[in-house]
């Protein structure tokens, strides 16, 4: 071991790991299991920095009084043993001196305050336990390192570096393009699925070992959570949202939250059986008068739409912006290519009926992917072929123009305004020959039940009118007629 390596070793691993080291660089998402848990797979690795003062060894970590989301993330830590800049992937592992266990801990109550930097949420004192022993990197295969994390003795994380989305060599080469990696710098290489929240009194243990020779091990890095005093009342305070809890605990269920709204097959069938006019009436009665997507109608009569919204926004054409955003794999193509079965693509086209926003190829692509329909407050080109695809499409009009004359496809899955109605991704869209409306997910069951009740009453009223009864007192029903209605058992 060189003198430089011995010095780095003494700086990083000591009884209290109290000596300052170099940079601590952490990777956001690196394991497929974690990416699947978060619902997104990154195209490239991304990073953040942690303060060297957050380093510690086995022992205790303090959760400040008044906070709730102290998380653990068991990780494989790489300690740089040879300084380098612009390191190639082929040479990257030769710059790693040692491997050990680490725990990328944090208090997610403060994540929102830092807008992505993680300064307060991840760099607090004691938030980066590391060790207790270093494994000589030259003795292990970087693609055959195992990480295991237990909480109170139960295994919660168990994964291998062989599954990484980005190899260790890729991370080192990528980072060294921008910065010199010095002896003693530490790279925390991401956590697999299973990270969650710890309570005072709980103990978390992380171990890294060679899959080829399990005796090459970091040893057990054990941390016990203790309740600490509250933080000083200055600056941003702790703030916890439902999404923060989901991210911290790993799932909505683990966080103790109510299940997310699910547009089940039963709800779809029931919504398709009631008239949009009835749903609109019920929503108006509940204080939602502006839910209709004005100006749109089905291209083929008799077709209905029921599904969760995905959104696409067009902005006004400008040559320089179109050159940057209009060509290639633009937002329009990305939106259609990512539509999922049962979803409705809703387009904001500024209610302009003289510019095409959809053609037959993209309509076919959406249909093949299982879309429930497409709604645009603009126009459709290839009107005849689009109508023959078999996909419910609602639009203002037909127009032959190609993309780039009036619109630029700008963004996907933003909050938009389509036909005067605000639409957010996940909203429930229902359409029939009368047009289309937007229902906030939290209101769907309540609105549907009221609409079904209203339609049952209106069927009775229609039958009575057909029998020759006058509408006075019947529509709406007075108490006498309502008593007769109740007697029918509906």
The pLDDT of residue 135 is 93
How far is C-alpha 402 from the geometric centre of its chain's CA atoms? 33
Tens of pLDDT, residue by residue over 237-264, are 888 888 888 888 888 888 888 777 899 9
Query: How are beta strands 55-56 and 128-129 bridged, if at all?
Result: parallel
8 Å CB contact between 381 and 356: yes
Indicate if the pLDDT at residue 430 is higher than 80: yes
Give the Cα separation of 430 and 370 in Å (integer).
16
CATH class, 291-439 region: alpha beta
Give the Cα separation of 309 and 347 in Å (integer).
10
- Tell me which architecture the domain covering 3-249 has in CATH: Alpha-Beta Complex (3.90)
8 Å CB contact between 137 and 168: no
The pLDDT of residue 275 is 95
Q: Residue 418 pairs with which residues in a beta bridge?
A: 421
DSSP per-residue letters across 17-64: --S--S-EEEES---HHHHHHHT---SS--EEEE-GGGEE-SEEEEEE
Q: Residue 296 is encoded by which pair of tokens? A: 């749109």
DSSP per-residue letters across 117-173: --HHHH-STT-EEB-S-PEEGGGS-TTSEEEEEEETTEEEEEEEGGG-SS-HHHHHH
> C-alpha angle 307/297/285, rounded to 5°?
65
Tens of pLDDT, residue by residue over 186-208, are 999 999 999 999 999 999 999 99
8 Å CB contact between 205 and 198: no
Percent of the chain with pLDDT over 70: 96
Give the Cα separation of 439 and 431 in Å (integer).
11
Give the Cα separation of 107 and 29 in Å (integer).
18
DSSP per-residue letters across 267-334: HHHHHHHS-HHHHHHHHHHTT----EETT-EESSTT--EEEEEEEEEEEE--HHHHHHHTSSS-HHHH
Distances (CA, A) of 237 to 23, 67, 113, 198, 246: 27, 9, 8, 20, 20
**Among residues 330, 342, 332, 326, which one has the least CA distance to residue 312?**
332
3-class secondary-structure state, position 469: coil
Query: How are beta strands 24-27 and 186-188 bridged, if at all?
Result: parallel
Beta-carbon count within 10 A of 84 CB: 18
Buried/exposed code over 358-388 (b: 16+ C-beta within 10 A; e: otherwise): bbbebbbbbbeeebbbbbbbbbbbbbeebbe
3-class secondary-structure state, position 93: helix
Q: Which of 12-21, 219-228, 443-452 has the lowest mean pLDDT?
A: 12-21
Which residues touch 232 (CB under 8 Å, ≥6 apart)? none
Indicate if the pLDDT at residue 43 is higher than 60: yes
Q: Residue 489 is encoded by which pair of tokens? A: 């058992």
Query: pLDDT band at residue 15, thresholds of 50, 70 and 90?
Result: very low
Enumerate the domain spans of the chain.
3-249, 291-439
8 Å CB contact between 411 and 383: no
Q: Residue 482 is encoded by which pair of tokens? A: 């309502």
Query: pLDDT band at residue 402, thresholds of 50, 70 and 90?
Result: confident
Task: Name the average pLDDT for the chain.
Answer: 90
> C-alpha angle 281/284/287, rounded to 5°?
155
**Among residues 35, 122, 30, which one has the least CA distance to residue 71?**
122
> C-alpha angle 311/331/112, rounded to 5°?
65
8 Å CB contact between 63 and 107: yes
Q: What's the average model confidence in pLDDT over 10-18?
A: 46
245 φ/ψ sector (left φ>0, alpha ψ -120 to 50, else beta): alpha
8 Å CB contact between 53 and 11: no
The pLDDT of residue 5 is 42
Indicate if the pLDDT at residue 40 is higher than 90: no
8 Å CB contact between 187 and 27: yes
- Which residue would you say has higher pLDDT here, 17 or 357? 357
Beta-carbon count within 10 A of 432 CB: 23
The pLDDT of residue 6 is 39
Tens of pLDDT, residue by residue over 143-195, are 999 999 999 999 999 999 999 999 999 999 999 999 999 998 999 999 999 99
């Amino acid at each position: 071991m060189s003198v430089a390596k011995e010095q780095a070793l003494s700086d990083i691993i000591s009884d209290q790991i109290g000596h300052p080291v170099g940079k601590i660089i952490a990777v956001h998402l690196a394991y497929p299991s974690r990416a699947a848990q978060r619902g997104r797979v990154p195209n490239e690795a991304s990073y953040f920095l942690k303060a060297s003062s957050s380093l510690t060894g086995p022992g205790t970590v303090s959760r400040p009084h008044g906070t709730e989301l102290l998380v653990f993330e068991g990780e494989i830590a790489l300690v740089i043993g040879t300084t380098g800049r612009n390191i190639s992937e082929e040479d990257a592992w030769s710059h790693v001196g040692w491997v050990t266990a680490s725990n990328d801990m944090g208090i997610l109550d403060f994540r929102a305050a830092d807008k992505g930097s993680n300064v307060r949420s991840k760099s607090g004192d004691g938030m980066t336990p590391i060790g207790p022993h270093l494994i000589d990197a030259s003795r292990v295969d970087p693609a055959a390192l195992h990480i295991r994390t237990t909480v109170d003795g139960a295994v919660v994380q168990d994964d291998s570096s062989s599954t990484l989305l980005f190899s260790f060599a890729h991370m080192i080469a990528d980072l060294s393009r921008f910065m010199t990696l010095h002896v003693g710098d530490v790279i925390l290489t991401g956590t697999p699925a299973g990270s969650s929240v710890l309570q005072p009194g709980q103990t978390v243990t992380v171990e890294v070992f060679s899959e080829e020779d399990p005796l090459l091990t970091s040893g057990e890095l054990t941390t016990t959570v203790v309740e600490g005093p509250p933080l000083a009342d200055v600056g941003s305070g702790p703030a916890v949202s439902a999404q923060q809890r989901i991210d911290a605990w790993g799932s909505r269920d683990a966080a103790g939250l109510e299940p997310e709204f699910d547009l089940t097959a039963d709800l779809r069938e029931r919504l398709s059986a009631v008239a949009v006019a009835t749903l609109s009436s019920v929503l108006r009665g509940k204080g939602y008068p502006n839910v209709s997507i004005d100006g749109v109608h089905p291209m083929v009569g008799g077709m209905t739409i029921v599904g969760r919204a995905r959104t696409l926004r067009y902005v006004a054409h400008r040559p320089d912006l179109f050159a940057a955003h209009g060509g290639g794999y633009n937002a329009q193509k990305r939106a259609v290519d990512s539509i999922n079965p049962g979803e409705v693509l809703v387009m904001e086209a500024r209610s302009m009926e003289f510019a095409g926003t959809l053609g037959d190829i993209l309509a076919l692509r959406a249909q093949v992917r299982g879309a429930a329909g497409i709604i645009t407050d603009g126009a459709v080109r290839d009107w005849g072929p689009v109508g023959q695809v078999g996909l419910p499409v609602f639009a203002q009009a037909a127009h032959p123009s190609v993309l780039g004359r009036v619109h630029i496809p700008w963004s996907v899955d933003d909050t938009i305004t389509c036909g005067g109605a605000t639409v957010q991704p996940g909203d429930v869209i229902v359409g029939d020959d009368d047009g289309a409306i937007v229902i906030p997910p939290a209101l769907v069951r309540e609105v549907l039940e009221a609409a079904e009740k209203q339609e049952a009453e209106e069927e009775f009223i229609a039958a009575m009118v057909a029998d020759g009864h006058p509408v006075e007192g019947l529509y709406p029903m007075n108490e006498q007629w309502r008593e007769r209605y109740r007697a029918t058992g509906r």
